[in-house]
Amino acid sequence: MQQSVEELIARRERLLGVGTPLFYEQPIHLVRGDGAYVYDADGKRYVDMYNNVPCVGHANPHVVEAMRAQAATINVHSRYLHQGVLDYAERIVAKHHASLERVVFSCTGTEANEIAIGMARFATQGRGIICTDRAYHGNSELVNKLTWADCQSDPEIRWVHYPQTYRPIEDGLNEAELADRYLSEVEAAINSFAEQDIPLAGMLVCPLLANEGLPNIPKGYMAGAAKLVRNAGGLFIADEVQAGFCRSGQWWGYETSEVVPDIVSMGKPMGNGLPLSGVVARGDLVDTFRKRSGYFNTFAASPLQAAVGAAVLDVIEKEQLQQHVAELGDYLRDGIARVQCEAMGDIRGHGLFVGIDWVSNLEARTPDREGAVKMVNKLKEKGILTSNAGSEDNIIKLRPPLVFGRQHADLFLEAFEQTVRELY
């Protein structure tokens, strides 16, 4: 017999622990997915505007078949030769800038960032890591130290304010001056490490600042930060766990800012739901990491991961999802901008990654978390799944599977306009 939402919540708390996070005031019980749609236990259909992991669509048949076929053939750990793993490694490396030559596979974004930091520390013999003040890069003890780093104290970590144009750190500056103003913090972080005799290992940053709230970044900031870090002997690390795999309309988030990182971590959409992540980097960096760490991960670099990862690439390539994402992202943002509402302070993002900065006072740009939460819950009632995020939790975050089509965008835009009319 199907259990009610209330029964499932009670059982969940008993089995998984009180405080296990759940979305929405009235949580939903999902039982099935198909493309950009998910369905609850009562058969209600939702347009999934939130989940980037099933990037080529929920239950994508090509990916499911690749998973089945490989699992039915062989799946072992990575200390055997397997051609499929190398074929996939070749394909994923080829998606990156030519200077990024080798890959280390892992299972989660957290692990990928652990590897990236370790790689930078081995290569530079440094320890210091710079991150932004409102970052999230994962949940291990090390990587979690970069989460909202200004609340934590670790002598080997320094934070800088994340750069943004909407609520700039200082008023009255043009874009170039603003970039320089934010870059002066990177310089100060580097100097402060030097003063304490902590050699720099690098800077780890999401190229789209996804968790910070997807702000418009003053032009020149990323390239400027990479230059400062490299001049101080460090490496520039891009966390592409959210930004990668065509999310921005470019293959990688770093391509939106004209910077080529030394090390790139990837995850979430890479396996369309199968745990698959990895780090690509210059050959010398990977070789040093391999020699110094002897890294092994039971479930990583397996034939199953490779088969599924390759199937994801097949779909992205065959369906030309990069171009699709760029076009549809513009369509979605234009549609949102046509809805007149004083609470929409800023509409921004790249490709199919849209942030709507919800405000209670347009002129003062006052973040309105409560308003964003109301919108998200109302949209859910209307069959649209979104969430609120960002440093103030007031950004309505739209990040649908890449196969999200114009028909889905229209369903969203209709529900969005209706919700705005009801609440404002």
Ligand X SMILES: Cc1ncc(COP(=O)(O)O)c(C=O)c1O
Q: What is the 3-state secondary structure (H, E, C) of 283-296?
A: HHHHHHHHHHHCCC
Nearer to ligand X, 136 or 358 (CB): 136
What's the closest the beta carbon of residue 242 comes to ligand X, in angstroms? 4
Nearer to ligand X, 243 or 341 (CB): 243
Nearer to ligand X, 145 or 374 (CB): 145
Tell me the C-alpha distance between 247 and 218, whole Å: 20
Quick one: which H or E segment has residue 192? helix 175-195
Say whether residue 228 binds ligand X (CB under 6 A). no
Burial class (CB in 10 A: 0-12, 13-18, 19+), 73: exposed
Tell me the C-alpha distance between 142 and 127, whole Å: 12
Say whether residue 242 binds ligand X (CB under 6 A). yes
- C-alpha 60, offset from chain centre: 21
Nearer to ligand X, 146 or 359 (CB): 146
What's the closest the beta carbon of residue 143 comes to ligand X, in angstroms? 7
Tell me the C-alpha distance between 5 and 26, whole Å: 8
Question: In 3-state terms, what secondary structure has residue 149?
Answer: helix
Report the chain's C-alpha Rg in angstroms: 22
Closest among 302, 267, 310, 298 to 113, alpha carbons compared: 267
What's the closest the beta carbon of residue 99 comes to ligand X, in angstroms? 22
Say whether residue 267 binds ligand X (CB under 6 A). yes
Tell me the C-alpha distance between 265 and 103, whole Å: 10
Say whether residue 51 binds ligand X (CB under 6 A). no
Size of residue set near ligand X by CB under 6 A: 14
Tell me the C-alpha distance between 255 and 249, whole Å: 10
Binding mask 164-203 for ligand X (x = CB under 6 A): ----------------------------------------
What's the closest the beta carbon of residue 113 comes to ligand X, in angstroms? 6
Tell me the C-alpha distance between 420 and 418, whole Å: 5
Which listed residue (211, 248, 386, 387) binds ligand X by CB under 6 A?
211
Which listed residue (206, 286, 402, 413) binds ligand X by CB under 6 A?
206
Residues with Cβ < 8 Å from 373, sequence gap 6 or more?
388, 393
Nearer to ligand X, 135 or 341 (CB): 135
Say whether residue 157 binds ligand X (CB under 6 A). no
Tokens representing 119? 């790689």
Say whether residue 404 binds ligand X (CB under 6 A). no
Which listed residue (119, 210, 276, 403) binds ligand X by CB under 6 A?
210
Closest among 389, 413, 406, 424 to 336, alpha carbons compared: 413
Residue nearest to ligand X (CB): 109
Closest among 250, 175, 171 to 208, alpha carbons compared: 250
Binding mask 100-139 for ligand X (x = CB under 6 A): --------xxx--x----------------------xxx-
Which listed residue (48, 114, 212, 239) binds ligand X by CB under 6 A?
239
What's the closest the beta carbon of residue 335 comes to ligand X, in angstroms? 26
Interacting stretch for ligand X, rule CB under 6 A, among 56-64, 75-83, 236-244, 345-353? 236-244
Say whether residue 241 binds ligand X (CB under 6 A). yes
Burial class (CB in 10 A: 0-12, 13-18, 19+), 61: exposed
What's the closest the beta carbon of residue 3 comes to ligand X, in angstroms? 28
Chain length of the chain: 424
Give me the residues that bind ligand X (CB under 6 A), please: 108-110, 113, 136-138, 206, 210-211, 239, 241-242, 267
